[in-house]
Structure 1
């Protein structure tokens, strides 16, 4: 923790301890790496490299995310990313959990507030209640805390007319070598027909056994919400057939092979895109005199084609530590003011990125606009 911030806390996790999710994710931490270093004890930050998707490859001063023409395989642009850590979600969570108090299997059901304005209480589905000074809802894209603060209608995710077919798969050693030949971490493509493709490494546990590695790839595209409702009901074989046919008919290498080599039992996830802008007037929540607030994906779910979600969550964490620490250390600055300042900065900063990420998602699916998209113009850097 930051040396000056002596903040007592407890983390309540909805999932049971050691829960195994059907899907694990990976994401890039880049401009927020120095912020994360400020937040983590030095001995834990020293282990950050171990959480990477390929921990055997040395950390590079910078990486290049190449963008290909999805139909021809010819490079059309690139984004340069300094001090990138491409990490597995499960590994990073395990590292961050070391040495901190976590209570597992604690699903929140309601929130209550004392009349004197001093404390907030979280009531859990198991019948227990815990009271404290501030409750921070950092419970993900479909946040229950956001729901409790705003009601289901206002807290509901904004459904977008884009969807993706996701795959995490193993291949033969030779196939893995080929799929990583364009870049060992990731490769993207924009297709003249309006598709966006991604191919990357998800897990490389043993550098000598590439057939046990997991590759991560998806194809996203514009799709009306009415059509999404139909596609959500498809069986897995329908999704698998769709993504394999799409790659075979439309895509150049290595995306064609990444999907074409999938086995008959390979699981494919259909995933409509969503967002939620915390800066909109209708999305302003009552923080009950600074007793409850939101952070991370609970506060600002955004599309992922510009790779900003985790970095903005880390920025939220640093801001919370600084503002909460400031009121604990001050005789004049109160909790209400500290949380107000945090929320004002977070809503403005993250709201802008939610909108920019959506603009980027739109543009990378329109061939004539790809080269003017935010990721091509700004890379993965924040714009403010």
Structure 2
């Protein structure tokens, strides 16, 4: 389909999911003047309340490629420390959780550490998002052309291309591959996390002794504990600072997930007592002041899928859900948005057939995604094994793209 009058006339993209990658792609298409609509299951943005933060380590250029200048200028507001200056010499310390000894400092030059909820608010600016739209099914359009999405509220939407940006448990992915081949694979790892404030004394001690926006600690018992700055509402009142706390440990993949609050609290406290000061006090205090949530870790080593002649594709966690201990997920998702934008630009403004453009996009995403998923899982498993820790991708390659130095 060729654009008419400088616009992608008659072409429409359906994006399922208003997460980071879905909104980022929508911003890119807005810049390209390619019509799109985002469909989000939440009744309003950030309705579910679950929030975390993440880092842009090596995807700064494709991030900028996707954004119009006003949104690009507003990204600083989404940082965990709003308007913090970019630091070319930034590092992420990795400590022995038992002793506090620094094991290494992973370089994170020019890192952008972002609050997910605030990032979504920035990226949703001037985007057509339909809320309360939980996907029910995806079907080929009339005469096999285009695609039709049906939602659980009975409404439908049709377009030339549907992009599944609906997360690790993607319904779009399962529609293309079936529940068994397209389902998330459970890993023998459990995560526990909390988000909240600390007493001023503990918050100041963390700042003064660790002095990093994110610190990762690893314990010989097979535990990864990290703590990250999440928000600084008032620089002069440490009791208002918000922190993200996370524990990861081995867990039987065949066992049911944790649901009992008393058991979850006991596990949290038992592990917290094994941490060196000031982390021990911080984690114990977090449990007193915050809700403890579980993260059952899983992955899906990316494989090719039938894109129905270029009318359905995947991006972000829907295409390559991975573990988070090397921070590769968001960076790969940003690349997806930029690459898919380039593909659709070639369709709408360079007369490239849609199927051909999507095939080219997917070839790169599948190869890159598979490598990132496998490497991330390998890294996470090695980080809860003290004997293998220093052979892990994080220790060998840091937070760089891929598994090579």
TM-score range (shorter-chain normalised) is over 0.9
* Residue 332 of structure 2 corresponds to residue 312 of structure 1: yes
Larger mean Cα displacement after TM superposition, 353-362 or 97-106: 97-106
The answer as to whether partners of 2:76 and 2:83 remain within 8 angstroms in 1 is no
* Residue 328 of structure 2 corresponds to residue 302 of structure 1: no
RMSD over equivalenced CA pairs, Å: 1.8
- Which residue of 1 is the match for residue 269 of structure 2? 244
- Go from structure 1 to structure 2 and tell me whether the alpha carbon gap of 1:364 and 1:263 turns closer, same or farther (over 3 Å shift): closer
1:129 & 1:189 partners in 2: Cα distance?
A: 48
Q: Secondary structure at the match of 1:368?
A: coil
Number of residues of Structure 1 aligned to a counterpart in Structure 2 = 375
**Alpha-carbon deviation of 1:347?**
0.5
- What 5-or-longer segments of structure 1 have no aligned partner? none
TM-score calculated relative to the size of structure 1: 0.93
* Residue 59 of structure 2 corresponds to residue 32 of structure 1: yes
Alignment of 1:1-384 (within 5 A): 1=28, 5-55=32-82, 57-181=84-208, 182-227=210-255, 229=256, 232-234=258-260, 236-248=261-273, 250-262=274-286, 264=288, 266-279=290-303, 284-331=304-351, 333-383=352-402
Q: Secondary structure at the match of 2:369?
A: helix
Q: Secondary structure at the match of 1:116?
A: helix
Q: Secondary structure at the match of 1:220?
A: strand
Q: After superposition, what is the alpha-carbon deviation per residue over 1:347-379, rounded to whole angstroms, capped at 9, x for unaligned?
A: 000100000001111111121222221112211
The answer as to whether partners of 1:302 and 1:357 remain within 8 angstroms in 2 is yes
The answer as to whether partners of 1:49 and 1:59 remain within 8 angstroms in 2 is no
1:260 & 1:6 partners in 2: Cα distance?
A: 51
2:97 & 2:380 partners in 1: Cα distance?
A: 16
The answer as to whether partners of 2:310 and 2:355 remain within 8 angstroms in 1 is yes
**Alpha-carbon deviation of 1:54?**
1.5
1:16 & 1:119 partners in 2: Cα distance?
A: 27
- What 5-or-longer segments of structure 2 have no aligned partner? 1-27
Larger mean Cα displacement after TM superposition, 145-154 or 355-364: 145-154
The answer as to whether partners of 1:2 and 1:38 remain within 8 angstroms in 2 is no
TM-score calculated relative to the size of structure 2: 0.88
1:296 & 1:183 partners in 2: Cα distance?
A: 31
The answer as to whether partners of 1:62 and 1:84 remain within 8 angstroms in 2 is no
Q: Secondary structure at the match of 1:226?
A: coil
1:190 & 1:313 partners in 2: Cα distance?
A: 27
